[in-house]
Amino acid sequence: MAAYLIRRLWQMLPTLAGVVLLVFVLFKFFGDDPATILGGLNATPEQIEAIREQLGLNEPWWVQLWIFVKQIATFNWGRSWATSEAVSNLFATRLPATLTVMLPILLLDALLAVPIALGVARVRGSLTDRALMVATTVALSISFLVYIIVGQYVFGFQLGWFPVQGWSDSTLTNLTTYVPLPALLAVMVGVAPQTRLYRSFFLDELGQDYVRTARAKGLGEGRVMWHVLRNALIPILTNVGLALPGVFVGSFLIEVFFSIPGLGREVLLAVNRADYPVIQATAVYLAVLTMLINLAVDLLYKLVDPRVVLK
């Protein structure tokens, strides 16, 4: 296990190097001139040149690439061009709000989709199965923006069950007051595709020979479904691992509409302001997060199924 872990971490380095090079090239050679953006429309050529000198943009590209690599290695991305706040401090102060919203959504998605999918797979072809498949298809056909607008109007303005916007310094208050509505709407959207996908995983397992053999030997249906669940966990874990980075990206929309001071809203503001340091840091961190999640999922395979050999 230790040898496999070290080997995988070592193999991440070329991938990370490729991501870093790609991010640098995109922002260096294809983006707008940062000095012109920061200077504004009324800046003189002398002012723009002074900004370029201050940011080190007059240096050769390989020097700028080395500075960029050092920023990644030291976690020192400098300061936001728009607010002059240290990028490291921006991540440290905004990330807790994002996690407070997204972790409950991740947990609820998995805890609801798996048992629902297992239940309808067991009664495949029944009225319950068909009705749920129709409901999930309808849910998939509606944009998340519609869920947000209707959810805020019904649950916030009409019923008054939840506040539409707001945030506090207390994690408990946030979880009990401000998180339920965005989490409810996100789960309503996320459970539908997960249920359909996990149902297909369970149906594939239910068609295997070991299920027919277990039933022929008189094994209880509950025990049979437990074995089906365990054997289907590997593709489920794969799907969860692939979805995790996307969930964090999806938090951008939630944070904007519900005025949550999280990292997602800050990244969108950075895009609108052409705040390159924040955008570059986010791109690299998301790449690292994706690689670490894939590694964690591979390690969980061994825990779920002892037959899996890590090579």
- φ, ψ of residue 149 to 5 degrees: the values are -65, -50
Q: Please report where in the chains the tokens 């994002």 appear, as a residue.
A: 98
The DSSP result for 209-221, as a single string, is HHHHHHHHTT--H
| 142-151 long-range Cβ contacts below 8 angstroms, 24+ apart | 144/185, 144/186, 144/189, 144/250, 144/253, 145/253, 147/185, 147/188, 147/189, 148/185, 148/253, 148/254, 148/257, 151/181, 151/184, 151/185
pTM score, whole prediction: 0.73
**The pLDDT of residue 311 is above 80:** no
Residues with Cβ within 8 Å of residue 21, at least 6 apart in sequence: 65
pLDDT band at residue 38 under the 50/70/90 scheme? low
For 89-109, what is the mean pLDDT?
A: 82
Kindly state the average pLDDT of the residues 87-100.
Answer: 82
* pLDDT greater than 70 at residue 247: no
Which two three-digit tokens encode residue 118? 């297992």
Q: Where are the chain's structural domains?
A: 2-74, 90-304
- The CATH class of the 90-304 domain is mainly alpha
Both structure tokens of 243 = 């979805």
Q: Which two tokens stand for residue 84?
A: 């002059």
Contact between 231 and 146 (Cβ < 8 Å):
no
| Per-residue model confidence as pLDDT tens digits over 254-264 | 888 888 888 77
Within the chain, what is the greatest distance between any pair of CA atoms? 86
